[in-house]
Structure 1
């Protein structure tokens, strides 16, 4: 039976912290008509919903997505895929493990962030416009439905508390990416079954996790 590993995007597959902060600062600069730098952002800006960060800066109106897109397109020029990603995806595919991305990004922004060679190794991508956003389980379940994989045969690797909540609500093993935004302690508090402090030997760890899930299920049937 095919198994699956789902990934969050920002902070897990791509090193986008600087780009996210630059997007916030650029958007606020445009809307407020004054210079806003990354240093002007709240200390927790990278892990706080954008509307809350912008409100603290004085942006009280609804977010204009066209302006946000312009700020994003410029800021993401500095974003890079983590070096381990291609090798992990190749290893999972070789082991007949399906892969997916579940992200709060829109589809067009995903295409700005990931190069074609990485997108070509991903079996499905579920974006903000496709399902109710995390921490609801809808997007995780939609990705699994597209892959034809049961929740008990899947893991979801995320770096935010909302990722852990979504995985648990979907019945998927929640794996915390300690190298991402929230950090290991927050992910543990959010209910991660496993927290990986770094991405060393990530493919091996993920294969063990999906393999263990499969063996446990078979043992219950026997």
Structure 2
């Protein structure tokens, strides 16, 4: 029996690098190439991780030894980014930007269940498109935004709010009402938690990216921290995370439901996928209750 499902109340929104994919070697290598070309010293791994919360333009300017107050900070950053981004994006592949497979499986399962999803990165939106496409995940996202498509990058809430607006415009979530939490944003950096908190959505930190769980705890912005991907699955699919029938149904329906979700249509879901969607809605409601109970 097939059921029709209306637009959801809440969505799942994702950071990309360090959350869905492990692009460190790709980005770090391309960074060294562009710095060396212009005679700048190599960036250290620590420098790279510390600046990963910045836009590409700001990050490269910092690697070049400049500070935001320096006169040439923006110009040099823009010059380096203009060379970095096309080369970086052209090198995206399953090998250079491998997915965290369990996380990618969660994305697919949510897509099969008709759960609205969006992606927000501090890199360019075209980079996010390239990574999601190379892993056959793009069809599960009704909105993809980057630092070049929002007024201010993370930790500003602008990108999260734009994802919510885009999902609403696509018809996959109902228009938010004042005080209602529109979903969850999942990321690996303190700036992800801050952006989510300021946007009024639930924040989930993941400990397998650029920042370890201890630093995520210390920042104080995350409502929940998942140390591994199995914890994230249990958080998003309470009471249904290990359901074999649900997983099988999700796998079988993934392509069609994901394409329908991206198009903003109502979904035709098989019973197993409907069970998954109900489980996700329970999980998101529990997270939303924490956010909505905060003093305004």
Q: In structure 2, how many angstroms separate the alpha carbons of the residues matched to 1:162 and 1:26?
A: 26
Are 1:207 and 2:237 an aligned pair? yes
Q: Which residue does the alignment assign to 1:24?
A: 31
Q: Which residue does the alignment assign to 1:161?
A: 190
Q: Which residue does the alignment assign to 1:186?
A: 215
Paired positions, count: 213
Q: Which residue does the alignment assign to 2:253?
A: none
For structure 1, which segment, 129-138 or 69-78, has the greater mean C-alpha deviation from structure 2 after superposition? 69-78
Among 63, 66, 73, which residue is 1:53 paired with? 63
Among 177, 192, 199, which residue is 2:206 paired with? 177
Q: Which residue does the alignment assign to 1:141?
A: 161
SS of the residue corresponding to residue 97 of structure 1 reads coil
Q: Which residue does the alignment assign to 2:76?
A: 62
Moved over 6 A (4+): 215-219
- Max Rg structure: 2
Shift in Å, 1:71? 4.0
SS of the residue corresponding to residue 194 of structure 2 reads helix
- Cα RMSD for the two superposed structures: 2.8
Cα–Cα, structure 1 residues 216 and 104, in superposed 2: closer, same or farther, change >3 Å?
Answer: closer
Q: In structure 1, how many angstroms separate the alpha carbons of the residues matched to 2:291 and 2:38?
A: 53
Q: In structure 2, how many angstroms separate the alpha carbons of the residues matched to 1:156 and 1:164?
A: 8
Q: In structure 2, how many angstroms separate the alpha carbons of the residues matched to 1:86 and 1:42?
A: 26
Are 1:5 and 2:15 an aligned pair? no
Cα–Cα, structure 1 residues 200 and 20, in superposed 2: closer, same or farther, change >3 Å?
Answer: same
Cα–Cα, structure 1 residues 165 and 104, in superposed 2: closer, same or farther, change >3 Å?
Answer: same
TM-score w.r.t. length of structure 1: 0.83
Q: Which residue does the alignment assign to 2:242?
A: none
Shift in Å, 1:4? 0.7
Q: Unaligned regions of 5+ residues in structure 1, if any? A: none
Q: In structure 2, how many angstroms separate the alpha carbons of the residues matched to 1:82 and 1:188?
A: 22
TM-score w.r.t. length of structure 2: 0.64
Cα–Cα, structure 1 residues 90 and 201, in superposed 2: closer, same or farther, change >3 Å?
Answer: farther
* 8 A contact 2:189–2:216 mirrored in 1: yes
